[in-house]
Amino acid sequence: MFKKLFFFFALVILATGIVGYRWVKNLTPEKIFQSSFLQEQVKKQLGDNGGEIMKIIPKFLGFTKPVTYLMLFENNTELRPGGGFIGSYAVVRVDNGKMELIKLEGTESLDRNTPKGWKPEPPTQIKRHLGMGKWFFRDANWSPDFSESAKKALELYKGEGGVSADQIDAVVGFTPTLLEQLMKVVGSVTVDGIKFTPENITEKLEYEVEYGYSERGLVFTERKKIMQPLFHALLAGLKLDALSNWQNYLEIGKLMINEKQLMFYAVDKSWQDDLAKQDWTGQVKDASGDYLLWVDANLAALKTDWAIKRNLKYTITKDKDGRFVATAEMTYNHTGKFDWRTSRYRAYARVFVPTGSELLSYSGAMKWDRAAGKGEVEQGDELGKKWFGAFIAVEPGKIGKLSFTYLLPKTISDQIQNHLYTIFVQKQLGLTEMGLTIKADFGNMTADGVFSGVIKEDKEFGFQLPDNR
């Protein structure tokens, strides 16, 4: 998969660079993709599977027909299940490699002008903790599966009267982490007298749209005006640098897709299937064994996720009745303090586990930020999984813990009894990294491996269980 991904981005960068210098090289997109040189390179790198990649590339760059993208700027310092809070969006049309920016603005501008008759019901948790009576476009990515969040984003975008809503062919979600990585190659850019660097782009951009606009004499409705010239400056840097630094861009593309900081969804099913085969769609996956996905939704806690250090501890034990019981416990270490971007951490957390799991107990759930009393746990079935969810709040400088203990389904118990245990751990979209500890006590069977470390992408673990009876 990595080899395919690497080569795909090589072709994209190469094609983009050639299009940018087409007046020198006198090449058309058709000539590029039909050239014997490119065909030979595809064959060398991918063999007979190169055809799949060659189907995707022309579509991405609008070489087969013009393509219109809805691009979601997802801020992962304000984490949401689908990657991050959708603070801004863009509509981009690509035709034969040429990009046209149709619209770029903050989501609040679109949400503010929602038609009066458009009142989609929001998720219960958004309604309860954000006080929202309807589901806005900015909150579209409530699903941990990007394809589902993208579908909802398209539905809400269209319902709110978004420009070119009926022409959208694909949705692209990306986080500031992608911008940070790209700028390490492009270098710093200066926009309206403001210098953006790889180290400061996320925080500085947040400051400019929250406070800096006022200091520069702009009104509230113009607070995200800086996004458009910044977008153009980065794009110009990418085009000029594409041919000389294409290998670096390839590595960035591979890294960002693997770490789920860059996700794609195509309206056309065949195109979506092609993307899914390459694992570029940020989907919640099926698992033949045990499964674990912890998902946080920052609910009105500013940009506090930058200060939250997470460690997920997963343990399996065998109870006196011979059943296998699992506990998923998340520790939130709030390393920040109260300031313009950091507050008390308020999150609705869900853990997705194998379908058929039964909740036994929980701890750490809260009703509200500072309300006394134990909160309730909700549960449901979604995406072929069982989920348990609860609200938690953590003060700056403090540590909070939330845990769910549940009975694993018989299918998992049967695998353990057959001396083979596997678990597929998925990392939340947009989350940069998470500490993970896995401990297993199978009774008379000993697990040979215990994992403790940091993960930045999905991981599968397996334990061979000897028969010690």
For every residue of 275-310, DSSP letters joined together read HHHTT-S-PPPP-SSEEEEEEEEE-S-BTGGGGEEE
Residue 192 has φ and ψ, to the nearest 5°, of 55, 35
Q: How confident is the model at residue 25 (pLDDT cuts 50, 70, 90)?
A: very low
Instruction: Report pLDDT digits (tens) over 297-317.
Output: 999 999 999 999 999 999 999
Neighbours of 117 (CB within 10 A): 6
pLDDT attached to residue 23: 38
Please give the Cα distance from 21 to 253 (Å, whole number): 22
Tokens of 47: 């063999």
The one-letter amino acid code at 31 reads K
Tokens of 20: 């940018």
Q: Stretch 86-94: mean pLDDT, rounded?
A: 96
Instruction: Report pLDDT digits (tens) over 244-263.
Output: 777 788 789 889 999 999 99
Residue 347 has φ and ψ, to the nearest 5°, of -145, 145
Q: Lowest mean pLDDT: which of 258-272, 318-332, 358-372?
A: 358-372
Please provide the CATH number assigned to the domain covering 2-277.
Answer: 3.40.630
Residues 6+ apart with CB under 8 A from 46: 3, 4, 7, 53
pLDDT attached to residue 240: 74
* DSSP sequence for 321-341: TS-EEEEEEEEEEE---SSSS
Closest CA to 155 of 145, 86, 166, 113: 166
Asked whether 437 and 316 are in contact (CB, 8 A), the reply is no
Instruction: Report the CATH fold assignment for 290-464.
Output: Immunoglobulin-like (2.60.40)
Residues 6+ apart with CB under 8 A from 185: 241, 245, 248, 249, 252
Q: How is the chain split into domains, by residue range? A: 2-277, 290-464
Instruction: Report pLDDT digits (tens) over 118-173.
Output: 999 999 999 999 999 999 999 999 999 999 999 999 999 999 999 999 999 999 99
Please give the Cα distance from 270 to 273 (Å, whole number): 5
Q: How confident is the model at residue 55 (pLDDT cuts 50, 70, 90)?
A: low
Beta bridge partners of 436: 312, 453
- Kindly report the pTM of this predicted structure: 0.89
Percent of the chain beyond pLDDT 90? 65
What is the sign of the dihedral through the CA atoms of 38, 40, 46 and 52? positive
Closest CA to 82 of 139, 148, 155, 141: 141
Please give the Cα distance from 251 to 6 (Å, whole number): 7
